[in-house]
Structure 1
Amino acid sequence: MVRSMIAGVAGLKAHQSKMDVIGNNIANVNTWGFKGYAYNFKDSMYTNTFNSSGGDVTAGAYGGRNASQVGYGSQVSSISNVFETGAPAPSSRPMDCMIDGTGFFLVGPMVNGSFTDIKSSGLSLSRVGIFSVDENGYLVDDQRSYVYGYALVDGTGIPETPATGASLTMRGVVPTINKGNGTNQITIAGVTVETTYDENDMVKAVEDWVDKALTDTKFAGCTIEYNGFTQVTTAAGPPATTESRPSFTIKANGTGTATTKQVTDLAGEFGNTNTAGFEIRDQVDGKDYIAGIPAEFSEELSTIRIPIDPTTGQRYQLENYSISEDGTVIGVDEQKRVIALGQVALISVQNPNGLEKTDGYYYTIGDNAGEVTDVKPSTGPTGRILGGKLEMANVDLANEFSNIITTQRGFQANSKIITVTDEMLQELVSMKR
């Protein structure tokens, strides 16, 4: 078999491999965070027709000669990632984010406790920031992997507690109607006001009482909300006896713990606790203002989770989330307070091409990746985090289609070598006839 046939076959295989790489690049043109691959050729093994020799300048000697070599085609030299940052694409999800720099997110299964050695952690690297908070309050990506960063230092990140006033809601309040000479009186909580209504129009009478009772000094510093009539059981029976009675909510106009006593003292005025059917439905104590404690983050890596409210002992109930440029993940609670969850870490890799791609958009840390360290965002070349955006693939379609053309022509040229070589062998075989 002639060497040109071997070279042609090697060229076909090499160009087919390059077309595989190009096809993969184009197939992932809309894959978030995808990094294109570059295919590089190298020439294949050589044999020497003539070996090289040095020259001799003595009388009657001959000069030197260069080696004459014949190659066996081409083959793959390397297939390497092109780690250029892709263009940002706006996202409708505030928890989506991308890295504007060379860093990576650290993600993977649960690792109990904190750590600093990234290589031995068994975790993966990622460039895709499709994040959310799961039912346990942990920050995760869309592949169910936990996102690692810097957790809150205990006792920090506590939001301010605003001052609030006390309130008291009750039902089953007993109103009393006294009829006079053309003027009726309604009495509730020991406060009597005149009204034109009687027990036949009790709803209007109670509304009239609410409007006029606020002028009484007993309710100074409070407001009264009338919540309508409700059915209350006044006797267990059998048979049970029910009545329709009004409900009220008393709210302190001021704030602080002192308002609790102010409001609670009125409970006995509104309804004798011995009165059947009267009950306190809801009582909220007033609170004094407590200043918040700024968030501080650990220097070791760990999962990121919604913190516990020291007031209630439960995790904060957060409604909205966002991620800032320095990687701080924050949420907003029902009181519109900003609560910090933690700070997402970025990973710096000395040799990104030493990473190995796995399923999805994850990378594992290969033996040739070099030094791998964690860095806080916005503090170095690893970059900053852009919230509300995702990184598009860095595939250049114009360049890829140009590569398709040159690869196709290269494949055709190598197939032509095989065809011509076959014709030469045919001529050689025909000489025997």
Structure 2
Amino acid sequence: MSISGAINAAISGLKAQAAAIAMIADNVANASTPGYKATESRFQTMVTQSSAQANMHSPGGVINQPYFANQAQGGITQTGSPTSVAIAGAGFLTVSKAIGENSATGEPIFEATDYFTRVGDFTQNAQGYLVNSAGYYLQAWPIDQRTGEIDTSRLTEVRVSDLLEAPVPTSLVDYAANLPSEVLGTNGSLPAELPASSIQVYDALGNERTLSLSWTRIGVGSWTLEVEAPGSTPATLGPATVEFGGSLGLGPVAAGTISALATAGGLTGAPAGVNNDASFSFNLNFGSGNQAIRLDLGAYGNTAGTTQFASDTLTLNDFKQNGAPQGDFKSLAIDESGAVVVTYDNGNVRKLYQLPIATFANPDELDRVDGNAFVATPGSGAAVFKFPGGSGAGDLVSAAIEGSNVDIAAEFAKLIVAQRVYSANARILTAADELLQEIINIRR
């Protein structure tokens, strides 16, 4: 019984070390595979019978229990691809797998199973999807383009197919300037008209239009504002009175700050109130219907905006608008926050998706599948989706990929040990065979 037990133990040792060598070979083969996680051998004894009280022990052998460090960090390398992303810390990217193609539309058909990976070398395919080198499609939370809100209730494949952006008609003009409090007209008296300030705005079709503001001083703290928009109906708005200094609400306002806006000539002044928005609203029509625009002069009683202080000339501090012409697709990138960002050649930037980080109660219990991907198991628990860098989720590194965490030197050291132990177990079999042969020879 002891000899057969030795044989069985040696055979289990051979199997365990062979499995260890296979794991080492797998690790070495994937030393350059992005996101690969090395598998470790952990040996456990098998005991058939063993009792210190009975003074007996029957050999059972050994088994090789693989250990999967699915979340162990690999080295992060910067790349030239703006759609590549690496995770520094815990968590996984969520991906899906195409299992076919819709014959009518040519669109991919995706598995219902959620896959998870740390391979972030995504590039855009011909259909606009972001796909990594293993063929998995990146998933993310969609962002509502009207409200800017992230829909965290669902995940969808990241796809950028809108290569043109519609023009954005101007709806807001910010204007901040200091009007000279001492300026006089050419005859040394009032009124005193200042040179017009002009800016390019955009109509509903993306055409550039000119908007000009003309100020005229009519009193100590009183000015009129006239807005001209050539090609529009109406082409001239105002003049409307703007008062500086005096009182507002329950008390006086700071000298040189806006205290009142009149409504006149199509310019509608916002109601006065301490720190309320001091703005004019008006409508233009360049042939494509009414276009509502708000001219923001700052705030009532506040020096952050349009003021009237001592000077001889108008000082323009800010003059900008929020419109844009039609834009052509320029670039696609994933930023550090996990936002999938599209840039157009008109200067507009749109966030289309938000990447979540999938975390698990026990990530080492995830099952591995082809292409360095994982699927959830009862042991791993369900995926919990979090924003990058929050609540235990790792940070994202843009334009980077995570490499394999295989240490070649350590693997070769393990290989030497496994080879020697394998040889030792083989010697045990040889010795047991010789013992059995001696037993057989007793009869001769």
Summarize deviations over 1:360-381 as a string: whole Å, max 9, x none.
1110111211242100112232
Deviation at 1:254, TM superposition (A): 3.6
Q: Give the letter aligned to residue 385 of structure 1.
A: L
Structure 1 match to 2:373: 362
Deviation at 1:148, TM superposition (A): 2.1
Structure 2 match to 1:80: 68
Structure 2 match to 1:124: 115
TM-score, length basis structure 2: 0.57
Aligned partner (choices 15, 18, 26) of residue 17 of structure 2 = 15
Shift in alpha-carbon separation, 1:79–1:260, aligned structure 2, 3 A: same
Deviation at 1:392, TM superposition (A): 0.5
Deviation at 1:134, TM superposition (A): 4.3
CA distance in 2, matches of 1:94, 1:86: 20
Deviation at 1:352, TM superposition (A): 0.6
More strand per residue: 2
Deviation at 1:406, TM superposition (A): 0.7
Deviation at 1:327, TM superposition (A): 0.5
CA distance in 1, matches of 2:209, 2:49: 98
Structure 1 match to 2:46: 44
Larger displacement relative to structure 2 (28-37 or 134-143):
134-143
Structure 2 match to 1:106: 94
What count of residue pairs does the alignment treat as equivalent?
A: 286
Identity of aligned residues (%): 25
Contact 2:39/2:66 (<8 A) preserved: no
Deviation at 1:72, TM superposition (A): 2.5
Deviation at 1:396, TM superposition (A): 1.2
Q: Give the letter aligned to residue 73 of structure 2.
A: T
Structure 2 match to 1:382: 393
Q: Which has the larger radius of gyration?
A: 1
Deviation at 1:290, TM superposition (A): 7.4
Secondary structure of 1:401's match? helix
Relative contact order, CA 8 A, sep 6+: which one is greater? 1
Shift in alpha-carbon separation, 1:162–1:101, aligned structure 2, 3 A: farther
Summarize deviations over 1:214-255 as a string: whole Å, max 9, x none.
xxxxxxx9xxxxxxxxxxxxxxxxxxxxxxxxxxxxx98845
CA distance in 1, matches of 2:9, 2:134: 45
| 1:397 corresponds to 2:408 | yes
CA distance in 2, matches of 1:37, 1:425: 38
Structure 1 match to 2:422: 411
Shift in alpha-carbon separation, 1:288–1:67, aligned structure 2, 3 A: farther
Secondary structure of 1:129's match? coil
Deviation at 1:163, TM superposition (A): 6.0
Contact 1:325/1:378 (<8 A) preserved: no
CA distance in 2, matches of 1:289, 1:397: 66
Q: Give the letter aligned to residue 93 of structure 2.
A: F
Q: Give the letter aligned to residue 343 of structure 2.
A: V
More helix per residue: 1
Secondary structure of 2:13's match? helix
Aligned Cα RMSD in Å?
Answer: 3.8
Structure 2 match to 1:70: 58
Larger displacement relative to structure 2 (336-345 or 95-104):
336-345
Correspondence 1:107-256 to 2 at 5 A:
107-109=95-97, 122-157=113-148, 161=168, 254=210
CA distance in 2, matches of 1:159, 1:30: 44
Shift in alpha-carbon separation, 1:379–1:252, aligned structure 2, 3 A: closer
Contact 2:21/2:415 (<8 A) preserved: yes
Contact 2:134/2:372 (<8 A) preserved: no
Secondary structure of 2:122's match? strand
CA distance in 1, matches of 2:24, 2:348: 50
Deviation at 1:354, TM superposition (A): 1.4
Task: Give structure 1 stretches of 5+ with no counterpart.
Answer: 53-64, 111-119, 165-220, 222-250, 263-282, 292-309
CA distance in 2, matches of 1:354, 1:125: 13
Summarize deviations over 1:296-348 as a string: whole Å, max 9, x none.
xxxxxxxxxxxxxx999x9x742112222210111110212211112111101
| 1:343 corresponds to 2:354 | yes
Task: Give structure 2 stretches of 5+ with no counterpart.
Answer: 99-110, 149-164, 172-197, 199-206, 213-227, 234-285, 295-322
Secondary structure of 1:76's match? strand
CA distance in 2, matches of 1:103, 1:145: 17
Contact 1:39/1:80 (<8 A) preserved: no
Contact 1:38/1:79 (<8 A) preserved: yes
Deviation at 1:81, TM superposition (A): 2.7
Secondary structure of 2:406's match? coil
Deviation at 1:386, TM superposition (A): 0.5
Contact 2:70/2:366 (<8 A) preserved: no
Contact 1:161/1:290 (<8 A) preserved: no
Contact 2:35/2:372 (<8 A) preserved: yes
Secondary structure of 1:2's match? helix
Secondary structure of 1:13's match? helix
